[in-house]
Amino acid sequence: MQDDLPEDDLHRRPAGTSDATVQAVGKVSEALEWVERARGALYELHQLLGHADLTFGDAVELLREAGHEEQADLVDREVVGRNVLPGRWTFAVVEEFEDTYWEPVREVERRVRQQLVEGRRHVLESELKESRRTRGHKAHESRP
């Protein structure tokens, strides 16, 4: 199990693990990183549209104060509180994405790592770091 490993071994390839396996597991993990970025983009959409909705609400009040009832009613009726998808605000989109795609994909990536590299994370990147660092240089230590 990952937690039982000494710190120096957390990212090292298990004995007998081939280069092809390390590369393949690394690719699965890279794909998950892109899914994580997509999730972040969904949260950004959620926050951007939530802020926009509140700002439209402020605009309705300002339009009314300026004597523009017809335009205030239009924005209030057609925009404030509007669904972004049929029957859904962005929080529901985020939740459905997480339940339907993000959580299952994370579990598959974890299972692949568990089955092929004893659950170790970032083995490929750790090896890349070792190949690129300048040995003996202060800012290029192998481990903390």
Q: What's the pLDDT score for residue 141? A: 83
* Each residue's pLDDT tens digit, 82-124: 999 999 999 999 999 999 999 999 999 999 999 999 999 999 9
Residue 99 DSSP symbol: I
Q: Could you state, in chain order, the average pLDDT of each consecutive group of 10 residues for the chain (144 residues)?
A: 63 92 96 98 98 98 98 98 97 98 98 96 88 86 78
Distance CA 93, CA 45 (A): 10
Distance CA 133, CA 7 (A): 19
Q: What's the pLDDT score for residue 72? A: 98
